[in-house]
Structure 1
Amino acid sequence: MVDALKKMGKISRKGPVVLVIMDGVGFGKYKEGDAVAAALTGHLNKLYKANPWTKLKAHGLAVGLPSDDDMGNSEVGHNAMGCGRVFSQGAKLVNNSIETGAMFEGTTWNKLVANVKTKASTLHFIGLLSDGNVHSHIDNLKAMIVQAKKDGVAKVRIHALLDGRDVGEVSALEYFDPFEAFLASLNDASFDARIASGGGRMVITMDRYNANWNMVRKGWETHVLGEGRMFEGAHQAIETLRKESKAIDQDLPPFVIAKDGKPVGTIEDGDSVILFNFRGDRALEITKAFEAQELAEFDRKRHPKVEYAGMMEYDGDLHVPSQFLVTPPAIDKTIAEYLCASKVRQFSISETQKFGHVTYFFNGNKSGKFDDKLEEYVEIPSDIVPFEERPWMKCAEIADRVIKEVESGKWDFIKLNFPNGDMVGHTGNFQAVVCSMEGLDLQIGRIHKAVMEAGGVMVITADHGNADDMFEHGKDGSVQYKENGDPKSKTSHSLNPVPCIICDSNYQGEYESELKTGLGISSIAATCMNLLDFEAPAEYDPSIITMR
């Protein structure tokens, strides 16, 4: 519980403070490949000219990641904005746990290892095989496999998802081939480790927010049941499926590794299973498939009795999974909790793909509301189609509802997430991303008009970059090209700063017109509190505005 915030008695507006999060929209470092700059964004351009704005850090240390070489992501970005401070995040916590040995001294690790040793069964790892460091890191997996051998585990199977989203779009073999060589170097008469299955992360296993349980079903059939197209090895599977499907890594069909016509690594009664992804949103559904006694979302056909653990606790309120290897950050004292204690009426909205970001992640990885009487959450169902085919996504529907709520006068604070820049950005389709930015810009113009007419304040920002960096660049900054002459698409987030624009309908000089520089997106929370006429908590990172 937190205390109510103290009123400043300096700012009074008729309308609400509206926080607009343009997911994945930053300031590009290069002209080539910057889809944000390439788009016709007349409304945003006018807002930059007419209002105070600044750039905010949204990656690396500024959002609790191990180093400034680590790109930001939606989870840590919304955590930082929602709690007003920087907590050490999943990647950093896992690294520390492995480096200090704490993970391998923990109860969960030793329980899972003891289970397979006692039963002469298999230790399985499921997760994203790359060094993207957004959902997972291959080095964490390698460290666990090495430790498993030291601890006397005899058989290990890896169910490896292709990334192509937080790393290069067709970079899978850069990870799979060296990883298979790594496994071969460990294998001997007493230890047998190999890849057992795989598939693209946007096709199997890693669905989120209950958007498409069919992905989880496919993952279950692939990893657990060993059902699907069979290959002798992962390299052969990836090359063959690429040629046939013409898909990039994240969209590659599932595959099963087999020997003599039989899968090498189905999951059976008595096995142990570790989901080595540390980020929660795309881990919850596959976790439910393993842990739920009854599952309504799809027919599991067979539900093996296993010792299951996640890399981290993916939902701190629901305590999912029941077993995990690393304790996540205990994020408390979020802006939503403070505002509820201060009797501030709040409305949160996005479409399915980012709904949990403006609720669960924004609230410090907590499900549910702080006060049912003061808060309302609205989820607009996302289309289940490739994002490049509907690059505008649901931004118009989100804007429709936000405008309605602004005009109602019911809310003091409204926050929304437009997913376009991130979700379409991950497709690598430059034209689609430009289209997504233009569709987004139209809706920002509509919301701005409504907020100004209502006498409110509109704060426009982002959680990280993506759409601003759509081409691969060399160390010298030059665009990298494919054999056919097209630029190599970049599907991962960027290290670029993001905007913060403050559009105040009735600015009376209550704060300096020049915004602070050099801050991170964690400063958004204190800023919104100030604009609501509250003093921010002392432990919060500084506001972007300076009160007079």
Structure 2
Amino acid sequence: MAKTDQKACLNPPSPSSKPRGGSGVGVSVDVGAGGVFVEAGQQSQDTPGGGAVPSPEQRNPEPQPDYILTLAYIILYLQDGDAITNAETPVMDAFAQSKTGYCELEASSLAVGLPEGLMGNSEVGHLNIGAGRVVWQDVVRIDQTIKEGKLPENDVIKKTFEGAKNGNGRLHLCGLVSHGGVHSKQIHLYNLLKAAKQFGVPKVFIHFFGDGRDVDPKSGADYMEELVKTAGEIGIGEIATVVGRYYAMDRDKRWERVQIALDGMINGKGEESTDPVKTVRERYARGGDKDKDEFLSPIIVGGDEGRIKDDDTVFFFNYRSDRVRQITQLLGDVDRSVLPDFNYPKIKNLVTMTQYKVDYPFEIAFKPQHMGNVLAEWLGKQGVEQVHIAETEKYAHVTFFFNGGVEKVFALETRDEKQDLVPSNKSVATYDKAPEMSADGVADQVAKRLAEQKFPFVMNNFAPPDMVGHTGVYEAAIVGVEATDKAIGKIYNACKEQGYVLFITADHGNAEEMKFPDGKPKTSHTTNKVPFIMANAPEGWSLKKDGGVLGDVAPTVLAAMGLPQPEEMTGNNLLTKA
């Protein structure tokens, strides 16, 4: 697509207030004959630009302005522990002054298809942004099934549990155990135990993945105590393995971590215990950096009896997919080339609560609800070339999740992983050790793509505010936020040079609240609103101030590009043009 000769320019005023919050997602998008780049968490400016976007009828031959979208920050509510406000962020400070290019969006709870009161997350945020509608999440579907008492009627669960009973009588339930609600829910596990009891499964072993990111870093012992008590009341289920999500739920191809988890679950390699609650509390008492739920090295309960063996049935109950893909890939024998010499059992079958990856052969209890005409798909139908850019930690979010939860490259979508997948830093165990992450590299690649004059829609994600926020190390998060601000500045300059309109938003909150009231580190997401910013836009453009949600971003982008909104995209256009 040709780029317009009319280049909107935004000159931020001197800063007097800061954008708030800190979730990390940057998206660059070229839409229509023009591109859109969206940066999560940045705030827009209302400086006049030059030239209006033509109507769809004028798209050929008249070119439109380009646009860019980036995701990275959220609104500030607390001062103490707020790594967004307390960081030096001159670029974002300037954008925060916009009178016409700034509004706030709901990014949690029912507004993004989650249960009421539940904080947003990266997967849900990207789905809603890319789909242009409220996407009702799998967790809501599962919750409703349980509420109606119909979980045992689920065809796959019924088949799986009856198969375990009629096989060797051994069922393994694997997943994250906490009340965080981001990847799993304990109430789901409890109802699976009830179903196993109802179907008469003789032995049920629970492989407990410690959380410590979406909840307090040392809350796992309490969750475990509750699980032990509830399983006793139900009359079935015993903890077999305890291991932190750092190992069991790696998503950055650090296979050596996954091997540690599997060594515990399969081979019994780890600290033996007859009382896992007591053992975990003893780990806490040591006070080391690794003595927290996320980093728990394997604890083996019940000796060899609870290991995953030949002919056993395995059920993973996480409903969020990205962090259980690697472990199920290996255990389910999808591709073991990364750990070919490991002693894998010949399990009967592996079943998952939701679809973890489209090409995985596993049976799925709650099959995906496919969405039509998400933003990336619709742009292809409109003849718009696009590219999505992120570092390794967030690449799935700008591809799989942004594209509607499908492993599909849509028409006119370039996916060159050698360029647009910027490597995350693998030399550190946690990102507080290198909080800048690869933000600068992502910004460089975005600027390069903009300069190519090829992609009307460019989308990117910046990871530091979210990923470093999850470490709970406040000082490191400040460094990550500052690095992101510099990267945003680099992209903003490229937008001005190349004639792009810049949109900025976030998928959820995080780094704006890094301490609990008692001063303890907070590593979880928040329910705070996120900013939605428009910068370098033509004169007379403004964003509606009230009532917006993440699902309104895509319709707004389409309106800015002069493109029609598909009927499946039920979000609202927040853009007004004078």
> Which residue of structure 2 lines up, in the alignment, with residue 252 of structure 1?
295
Are the aligned partners of 1:183 and 1:194 in contact in 2 as well (CA < 8 Å)?
Answer: yes
Task: Work out which of the residue numbers 38, 46, 54 in structure 1 matches 2:103.
Answer: 54
Matches within 5 A, 1:486-525: 487-505=519-537, 507-509=538-540, 511=541, 513-525=542-554
Q: Bigger CA drift: 113-122 or 459-468?
A: 113-122
> Structure 2 counterpart of 1:145, which letter?
L
> Which residue of structure 1 lines up, in the alignment, with residue 70 of structure 2?
20
Mapped pair 1:194 → 2:225: no
Mapped pair 1:542 → 2:572: yes
How far, CA to CA, are the matches of 1:250 and 1:443 in structure 2?
Answer: 33
> Structure 2 counterpart of 1:19, which letter?
L
Deviation at 1:272, TM superposition (A): 1.2
Q: Residues 143, 546 of structure 1: CA spacing in aligned structure 2 closer, same or farther, 3 A cutoff?
A: same
How far, CA to CA, are the matches of 2:424 and 2:502 in structure 1?
Answer: 25
Matches within 5 A, 1:31-70: 31-50=79-98, 52-67=101-116, 69-70=117-118
Mapped pair 1:94 → 2:125: no
How far, CA to CA, are the matches of 1:285 and 1:131 in structure 2?
Answer: 23
Deviations 1:358-406 (A, max 9, x none): 1000001111311266565521111122110111100000011111111
> Structure 1 counterpart of 2:396, which letter?
G
Deviation at 1:293, TM superposition (A): 5.7
How far, CA to CA, are the matches of 1:303 and 1:155 in structure 2?
Answer: 18
Deviation at 1:10, TM superposition (A): 9.1
Deviation at 1:467, TM superposition (A): 0.6
User: What is the TM-score normalised by the length of structure 2?
Assistant: 0.85
Deviations 1:285-322 (A, max 9, x none): 1121122265111133123222211111122x32x352
Q: Bigger CA drift: 106-115 or 521-530?
A: 106-115
Are the aligned partners of 1:452 and 1:504 in contact in 2 as well (CA < 8 Å)?
Answer: yes
> Which residue of structure 2 lines up, in the alignment, with residue 212 of structure 1?
254
> Structure 2 counterpart of 1:88, which letter?
W
User: What is the TM-score normalised by the length of structure 1?
Assistant: 0.90
Q: Residues 169, 248 of structure 1: CA spacing in aligned structure 2 closer, same or farther, 3 A cutoff?
A: farther
For the residue of structure 1 that corresponds to 2:258, the secondary structure is helix
Deviation at 1:258, TM superposition (A): 3.7
Are the aligned partners of 1:15 and 1:454 in contact in 2 as well (CA < 8 Å)?
Answer: no
For the residue of structure 1 that corresponds to 2:92, the secondary structure is helix
Task: Work out which of the residue numbers 499, 502, 505 in structure 2 matches 1:461.
Answer: 505
Mapped pair 1:391 → 2:431: no
Q: Number of matched residues?
A: 517
Matches within 5 A, 1:265-344: 265-292=306-333, 295-298=336-339, 299-315=341-357, 317-318=358-359, 320-344=360-384
Mapped pair 1:444 → 2:488: yes
Deviation at 1:27, TM superposition (A): 1.0
> Which residue of structure 2 lines up, in the alignment, with residue 532 of structure 1?
561
Q: Bigger CA drift: 48-57 or 406-415?
A: 48-57
Are the aligned partners of 1:233 and 1:257 in contact in 2 as well (CA < 8 Å)?
Answer: no
How far, CA to CA, are the matches of 1:392 and 1:321 in structure 2?
Answer: 38
Are the aligned partners of 2:376 and 2:413 in contact in 1 as well (CA < 8 Å)?
Answer: no
How far, CA to CA, are the matches of 2:163 and 2:145 in structure 1?
Answer: 22
Are the aligned partners of 1:237 and 1:255 in contact in 2 as well (CA < 8 Å)?
Answer: no
Mapped pair 1:143 → 2:174: no
Task: Work out which of the residue numbers 387, 398, 406 in structure 2 matches 1:366.
Answer: 406
> Which residue of structure 2 lines up, in the alignment, with residue 484 of structure 1?
none
Task: Work out which of the residue numbers 65, 81, 85 in structure 1 matches 2:133.
Answer: 85
Cα-Cα RMSD: 2.1
How far, CA to CA, are the matches of 1:257 and 1:236 in structure 2?
Answer: 13
> Structure 2 counterpart of 1:43, which letter?
V
Deviations 1:201-239 (A, max 9, x none): 11x11112x431222211211112222221222113212
> Which residue of structure 2 lines up, in the alignment, with residue 476 of structure 1?
none
How far, CA to CA, are the matches of 1:374 and 1:536 in structure 2?
Answer: 22
Deviations 1:52-72 (A, max 9, x none): 1111110011110121x1000
Same amino acid, percent of matched pairs: 31
For the residue of structure 1 that corresponds to 2:165, the secondary structure is helix
> Structure 2 counterpart of 1:508, which letter?
E
Matches within 5 A, 1:467-486: 467-472=511-516, 479-480=517-518
Q: Residues 324, 434 of structure 1: CA spacing in aligned structure 2 closer, same or farther, 3 A cutoff?
A: same
How far, CA to CA, are the matches of 1:290 and 1:149 in structure 2?
Answer: 25
Structure 2: runs of 5 or more not aligned:
1-31, 34-54
Are the aligned partners of 2:65 and 2:561 in contact in 1 as well (CA < 8 Å)?
Answer: no
Mapped pair 1:228 → 2:292: no
> Structure 1 counterpart of 2:532, which letter?
C
